[in-house]
Amino acid sequence: MNQQLQSVLDFIRHNENITEEEKNHLVALVKKANSDLEITEFKLERTEKVKRTTAILLEETIAELEQKRKAIEETNAALSKSLADLKATQAQLIQSEKMASLGELTAGIAHEIQNPLNFVNNFSEVSNELIDEMNEEMEKGDLEEAREIAADLKQNLEKINHHGKRADAIVKGMLQHSRASSGQKEPTDLNVLCDEYLRLSYHGLRAKDNAFNAVLNTDFDTSIGKINIVPQDIGRVVLNLLTNAFYAVNEKKKQRPEDYEPSVSIRTKKIGNKVEIRVEDNGNGMPESVKDKIFQPFFTTKPTGQGTGLGLSMSYDIVTKGHGGTLKLETKNGEGSTFIVEVPDV
Amino acid sequence: MKAKSIKGKSTEAIEAALASSMTDGFKPNLAIVFLSIKQDRQGIVDVLQSKGIDVLGATSSGEFIDGHQDEESIAILLLDLSPKHYTILFEDIGDRVLQDAATQMARDALQKFSNPAFILCTTSLMEDGGILEGETLIRSLEKVVGPGSNIFGGMAGDDLSFTGTYVFTNGRSTKYGMAALLLDADKISLQGLAISGWKPIGVFRTVTKSEANLIYTIDGKPALEMYLRFLGSDISQANDQLNFFESLGRHYPFQIERDNREPLMCNPMGFDWEKGALICESNVPQGSRFRFSMPPDFDIKDTLEAKARELKGDTDADALLIFSCVGRLAALGPMAQQENEALQQVWNVPMAGFYCYGEYGRAVDGKHEFHSTTNSWVALKEK
Ligand SMILES: Nc1ncnc2c1ncn2[C@@H]1O[C@H](COP(=O)(O)OP(=O)(O)OP(=O)(O)O)[C@@H](O)[C@H]1O
Ligand SMILES: [Mg+2]
């Protein structure tokens, strides 16, 4: 018992001026006070102890969490590195995809160059003969006739030059396609670009499979004029959409050789301050399950080894991120698809 | 059922208290005895037996009855109960595995009553320094008598001397076994609850290496070192075992996660300095998730009291038994007794109890479990 309280207790017990009843009452009160004191003392002591322990425990926990945070940070750094590596790999893949699509184009390009080359060859042979004729006329002294032949010659040379330039443009275009995109927007004739890729891709496919035939429809809005785009990039988008469309109609033709006429259209249209490119096919379209995934990188339904599944995801990025436009799809399973590119004309 | 509680610090004192309890014509035939290992167990049993009284007994680590708490003493709940409604069961485990002894006891129980209820006292300390697997024991009993059965009780103590704990009945006593007062639950109703109040603190941790009741590593770090460091202990010697338990182990148990059940409280009992391991009171499987915990708030008494009142409703009882963890005595000091007194006042019937090394009882979720750190009480009433 507390010493002071004990003294009080002794005092009460030995005091003769208080009645027995009062004594008992007082003794009980003192005892109660003592027990309350003991409890309070205990509480105080335990509070101190628990406080100390809690502080240490929390400190240690914090130290431990700090360690875990560091570990997470390190993991994070490692992950960032892997991500960067992955991005580099992806960039390489995209480059190889470009080269692959160039391969697909080669046949079309060859076909396209063949035409001007034929002209160049024919006209240069004819011109060669015309020069002989002209020489004869000059020896005869018929200058009038010689002048006429010279005029024809000039025309021929102009034609040769025209077709030479055409071949030059095709080769330049091909080089441009394989080069990494400059990323620079420049005034571009969209209709010419679409027309060129339509022919290149169609002939490309026909060169591989000459049984293939399709009705090609074009509808170019001439009011578009030149618009500011990155030509290589939009070219790649158009090429991707067309390649997909041809692939789709070709597949359907294989399934139904008799009563099906494949057709692919490309249309351009100016709508307010936007320009729209529609690539439409009457292939098999897509079910919802495929539709949901086509813009994901590496999604493909082509047999393994035949498609990278990068075409649409790259096209999507070019249109949305590169040009602030939209790439939408309308499709009906079994009936065909229309891809709609919309870019602002700024 | 009539009941009285008596106490004393010697056999003679008990003999006198017993005699005086019977002056009003009270004729007990059953005694639930909690006593210090320093008391004369045989002497006490002889006194009771000479009056034709059946005994269920356990050694303890602090004893109490209504209005009184003491150490190294004797506390007894005397009952006058029809012998048709109860029997005493006893199993010395000996060379058997715990499950077998428990199964045997459960079968005997079903033989006697179709709806048996247990007031169960078991020994606690094992030769290897651990504690009897209370969890296994409960599950083994349950398997035979069914999961709904009432099992209340405590694990014997030994005044924290860690020399050995005992349970006993008339003529039988063991250092490794169990004794039960088996009640016919169709005739006697039991209401009770076990509440801990220890609060989890800090993050979840994982036992990364363990073997039976030894924990080697926690989150990959040496367990003993971590426990000591986290609780700011200055224990630095292999022979500080008792100090360890007194100042740390019983204050800061682990709360081990259990599927669909309340967490299991598990006190570290000591350590293996060489192995850097903690010795726990129960087996801790590798991969267990747990949190450190802190002793109850000071208002735990009010919580216990409120829960008891809620459970009581307007029922009443004939007697009250309380099995309070020895850890409560350390963590709550004089408030541990207050808690018991509060429970006694809720029921207002004769009460006896002891500070034990583990409790059996009904968890708040209604399941009967083995506990640690709880105050587990049960009120008995003859229907
Ligand atoms: N016009 C279309 N009709 C039907 N399905 C189409 C059409 N365009 C695209 N798809 C579907 O979308 C998928 C993804 O197209 P994407 O251009 O991204 O990759 P790919 O054509 O499979 O492979 P890659 O372009 O590398 O050759 C195609 O595999 C196909 O299932
Ligand atoms: Mg494609």
- What is the four-CA torsion angle of A104, A105, A106, A107, rounded to 10 degrees? 80
Run of H or E including B6: strand B2-8
Structure confidence by residue, pLDDT tens digits, A114-125 = 888 898 999 999
Q: How many domains does chain A have?
A: 1
pLDDT-derived band of residue B45, with 50, 70 and 90 as boundaries?
Answer: very high
Encoding tokens for residue A142?
A: 């018929």
DSSP designation for B298:
T
Give the pLDDT confidence of A284-327 residue by residue, as tens digits: 999 999 998 899 877 899 887 677 788 898 899 899 989 999 99
Kindly report the average pLDDT of chain B as a whole number: 94
Specify if A23 maps to a domain.
no
Nearest to A269 by CA among A222, A320, A326: A222
Minimum Cα–Cα distance from A34: chain B residue = B334
Is the residue at A272 inside a domain? Answer: yes
Residues 6+ apart with CB under 8 A from B103: B140, B141, B143, B144
For B334, which of A35, A52, A64 is closest by C-beta distance? A35
Nearest CA to B221 out of A98, A67, A47 is that of A67
The answer to the question of residue A152 being in a domain is no
Exposed e or buried b per residue across B269-283, where buried means at least 16 C-beta atoms within 10 angstroms of its C-beta:
bbbbeeebbbbbbbb
**Cβ <8 Å between B334 and A42:** yes
- Strands B319-325 and B375-382 come out as antiparallel
CA–CA separation, A39 and B335 (whole Å): 7
- With a 6 Å cutoff on the Cβ, whether A248 touches ligand 1 is yes
Residue A149 lies in a domain: no
What pLDDT sits at residue A102? 65
Count of H-run helices and E-run strands, chain A: 8, 7
Q: Does A310 sit in the ligand 1 pocket, CB within 6 Å?
A: yes
Per-residue confidence (pLDDT) for residue B347, from 0 to 100? 97
Residue A173 has pLDDT above 70, yes or no: no
What confidence score (pLDDT) does residue B382 get?
96
Share of chain B above pLDDT 90, in %: 83
Atom of ligand 1 nearest to the CA of A339: 1
Residue A38 inside a domain? The answer is no
Chain A residue whose CA is closest to B203:
A61
Round to whole Å and give the CA distance between B177 and A234: 87
In angstroms, what is the span from residue A245 Cα to ligand 2's centroid?
9
Separation of alpha carbons B322 and B66, rounded Å: 10
pLDDT band per the 50, 70, 90 thresholds, residue B152: very high
Q: Given this model, what pLDDT does residue A78 score?
A: 94
Predicted structure pTM score: 0.64
Where do the DSSP E strands lie in chain A? 186-189, 215-219, 226-229, 263-271, 274-281, 326-332, 336-344
Average pLDDT over residues B13-18: 97
B295 with A46: Cβ contact below 8 A:
yes
Size of interface A-B (CB pairs under 8 A): 42
Return all residues near A271 (Cβ < 8 A) that are at least 6 apart.
A342
Segment holding B91, helix H or strand E? strand B86-92
Q: What is the CATH number of the domain that holds A260?
A: 3.30.565.10
User: What is the biggest distance separating any 2 CA atoms in chain A, rounded to whole angstroms?
Assistant: 173
pLDDT at site A152: 92
- Average pLDDT taken over every residue of chain A: 88
Question: Is B334's CB within 8 Å of A39's CB?
Answer: yes
Integer angstrom CA distances of residue A125 from A133, A159, A228, A344, B348: 13, 13, 42, 49, 128
Q: Decide if B52 touches A, using CB distance below 8 A.
A: no
pLDDT of residue A60: 83
Interface with chain B: mutation pick from A53, A58, A69, highest number of B CBs within 10 Å: A53
The closest alpha carbon to B357, from B91, B160, B198, belongs to B160
Rounded to a whole number of angstroms, the distance from the CA of A59 to the nearest CA of chain B is: 8
Amino acid identity of residue A41, one-letter, is: E
B230 and A56: CB-CB below 8 Å?
A: yes
Q: Are A276 and A341 in contact (CB under 8 A)?
A: yes
The tens digit of pLDDT for each residue in A267-285 reads: 999 999 999 999 999 999 9
CB A263 within 8 A of CB A337: no
Out of A93, A102, A243, A294, give the residue to mutate to test ligand 1, the one with the largest number of ligand atoms within 8 Å of its CB. A294
Provide the domain limits for residue A280: 183-346
Pairing type for strands B2-8 and B277-280 reads unpaired
Tokens standing for B79?
A: 């009952």
Residue type, B312: K
Query: CA A146, CA A133: separation in Å to the nearest integer?
Result: 8
Q: Following DSSP, what letter does each residue of B133-192 receive, concatenated?
A: -HHHHHHHHHHHH-TT--EEEEE---TT--S---EEETTEEESSEEEEEEEETTTEEEEE
| φ, ψ of residue A218 in degrees (nearest 5) | -125, 150
With a cut of 70, say whether residue B310 has pLDDT above it.
yes
The string of pLDDT tens digits covering residues B69-86 is 999 999 999 999 999 999
In a domain, A307, yes or no: yes
Chain A residues inside the 8 Å CB shell of B333: 39, 42-43, 46
**Ligand 1 contact, A245 CB (< 6 A):** yes
Q: Is B264 helix (H, G, I), strand (E, B) or coil?
A: strand
Q: Does B221 touch chain A (CB under 8 A)?
A: no
Domain contains A9: no
Contact A53 B203 (CB under 8 A): no
Asked whether residue A221 is domain-assigned, the answer is yes
Mutation to test the A interface, candidates B204, B219, B227, B231, most A Cβ within 10 Å: B231
Q: What is the DSSP letter of B374?
A: -
Residue nearest to atom 4 of ligand 1 (CA): A285
Surface-to-core class of residue A344, CB atoms within 10 Å of its CB (0-12 exposed, 13-18 middle, 19+ buried): middle
Handedness of CA B142, B282, B200, B216 (dihedral sign): negative
Instruction: List, in order, residues 6 or more apart from A40 with CB less than 8 Å away.
Output: none
Helices (H), ranges, A179-219: 190-208
Looking at the DSSP assignment, which residues form a beta bridge with residue B261?
A: B258
Q: Tokens 């030894």 — which residue?
A: B214
pLDDT score for A296: 85
Helices (H) and strands (E) in chain B, counts: 9, 26
Query: Residue A98: which pLDDT band, with cuts at 50, 70 and 90?
Result: low
